[in-house]
Structure 1
Amino acid sequence: MINSVPDHLMLRHLRREIGVSLEINNSRIPASESPSLTLYHNRLDKESSEVTYVSTDTVCNTSGVEFGVFKNQDLVLCGSERELRV
């Protein structure tokens, strides 16, 4: 499986509580929007079977956020973060 990693993934569904601010690249995102970010394949270590994806976008959120990472339409990872700074 490590030989067939995608060149990018999508970080989607940056959900947050109403009234909590979210900024992407210094632009405030309205609570009604659900933005997505592209994560680009950066590094592959076959020996440890680790793949690293990166983004050059700046994301700031003052409270909790829920997110999902997708390969095409398939969810591969989901999580939440109390304070997100990417």
Structure 2
Amino acid sequence: MTTHALVGPARAGGISDRAFRLYFHLALQTDGAWISFQSTADACNLSNHQIREPFAELRRVGMAESRRVYETAAGGSKTWRTYVRSQQANGAAA
């Protein structure tokens, strides 16, 4: 994938700076893998709460998607975890 193909949709999308940072991080995951919401926030140097609005922006313009998974946590308790990926990577992986 060329740099223009990677950045083009984000430049044309009219999204915030934080949403751009988030999109760029997700788009670099070219294998289309689902990434945990928390590790994505950490990679963008944002808190779990700070990343919610930029991610919602990306979802509204069709640049990212998410899924929730019911998993067993380290202590054995069940919990919901959110995973995200870019639509660009999803299209490239398909």
Q: Give the shorter-chain TM-score range.
A: under 0.3
- Structure ranking higher in strand proportion: 1
The normalised TM-score by structure 2 is: 0.25
Structure with the higher fraction of residues in helix conformation: 2
